[in-house]
Amino acid sequence: QKEVEQNSGPLSVPEGAIASLNCTYSDRVSQSFFWYRQYSGKSPELIMSIYSNGDKEDGRFTAQLNKASQYVSLLIRDSQPSDSATYLCASRSGGSTLGRLYFGRGTQLTVWP
């Protein structure tokens, strides 16, 4: 079973703060990791992908990957109310299940003004 676990929410932060979202995965063969944002009633929207250990920054978003610890995180700096959504962590294996994504249940983030 290739599991992706996300820290239980909901997470609530004030506007301007840093929101930290965490994810662990069980399959050591996993090679690629993704963060999707999903607004209520909408479909997942890709916001970050990360493939190698370390940090990857894109605007206010930073993804961090530690393959030894099987841990992925997403930091959102200067959080805005428009960031309020469910954030889904996903992994993609390089093994026999090539291509398919395994998703966590998501962490609901609320940014209050």
Binding site for other proteins (CB under 8 A): 4, 32, 34, 36, 42-46, 49, 88, 90, 94, 97-106
Distance, CA of 107 to CA of 84 (rounded, Å): 10
* SS3 label, residue 77: coil
Which of 44, 62 has the CB closer to other proteins? 44
Distance, CA of 11 to CA of 43 (rounded, Å): 20
Which of 47, 111 has the CB closer to other proteins? 47
Which of 4, 111 has the CB closer to other proteins? 4
